[in-house]
Structure 1
Amino acid sequence: MNTLAGILVVLHLLSWAIVLGGALVSLRDPKLPKGVLHGALMALLTGILLVGLYEMADIAAINHIKIGVKLILAGAVTALAAYGSSHQEKVSRGFLGALAGLTAVNVAIAVLWTG
């Protein structure tokens, strides 16, 4: 189970890297690449799978408040990515900055919130 958890963590972090990288690269020409939506959906899915795996296998103690905050942020990032993918004409630098900022906050919470 630890191997599966490790693989899911790697996929989860790579997914967030795709979202953050896609948003930052697009700041010059404000158009959202389709990969950003796919990365956000993958990050959301792998995060949910990780929580389920940790609960079932009792691999680590889970801080449910932290997971709830991260789930809300991941949902917001995914919603922004879905909206931006379907409404390319409304994507602005501010929109991309918000997407990148929420992604960075989500990753920072994962790393810095302990206990």
Structure 2
Amino acid sequence: MEDLYRVLLVLHLLGWAIVLGGVLVNLRSAKIPKGVLHGILTALITGVLMVGLAESSDAIRDPDTTKITVKLLIALVVTVLVVLGVRKPRRVTTGYLGAIAGLTAVNVAIAVLWR
């Protein structure tokens, strides 16, 4: 169980890295590449799977439900922004991409700093 959790954690972090990197690289052109959509979906799904695995296993520490709720809400907002930006590219501006990058950074900071 612990090994599966760690694999999911790596995939989760890679998903967030794809989102942040893809958005920052495309700030000048103000577009959302398809890879960012795949990254956020990877991060969202692996995050949910990690919480489920942690809740069902005695070997993994139970997650803080308040922290997980805040992180899930931020991830859902980022997901909606990315999906809307991919479907309607004309709405994407540098501020729009900045919001996605900022929320991504906040989500990572919460994961690391909230104890």
> What band does the TM-score fall into relative to the shorter chain?
over 0.9
Matching residue of 1:45:
45
Say yes or no: does 1:25 pair with 2:25: yes
Task: Report the secondary structure of 2:31's partner residue.
Answer: coil
After superposition, residues 83-98 of structure 1 pair within 5 angstroms as 83-98=84-99
- Runs of 5+ in structure 2 lacking a partner? none
How far off its partner does 1:61 sit?
2.2
Q: Does residue 75 in structure 1 map to residue 76 in structure 2? A: yes
Q: 2:63, 2:31 → 1: CA distance?
A: 37
Cα distance in 1 between the residues matched to 2:98 and 2:8 = 27
| Cα-to-partner distance string for 1:2-45 (whole Å, 9 max, x where unaligned) | 11000000000000000000110010111110111111111000
Q: TM-score, normalised by structure 1?
A: 0.97
User: 2 CA distance for matches of 1:111 and 1:95?
Assistant: 25
Q: Distance in 1 between matches of 2:72 and 2:31?
A: 25
- Separation (CA, whole Å) in 2 of partners of 1:61 and 1:45: 18
Q: Which residue in 2 is equivalent to 1:16?
A: 16
Q: Determine the C-alpha separation between the residues in 2 that align with 1:62 and 1:53.
A: 10
Q: Which runs of 4+ in 1 moved over 6 A?
A: none
Over the aligned positions, Cα root-mean-square deviation in angstroms equals: 0.6
Q: How many matched pairs?
A: 114
Q: Percent identity?
A: 60
Q: Match for 1:12: what amino acid?
A: H
Query: Which residue does the alignment assign to 1:36?
Result: 36
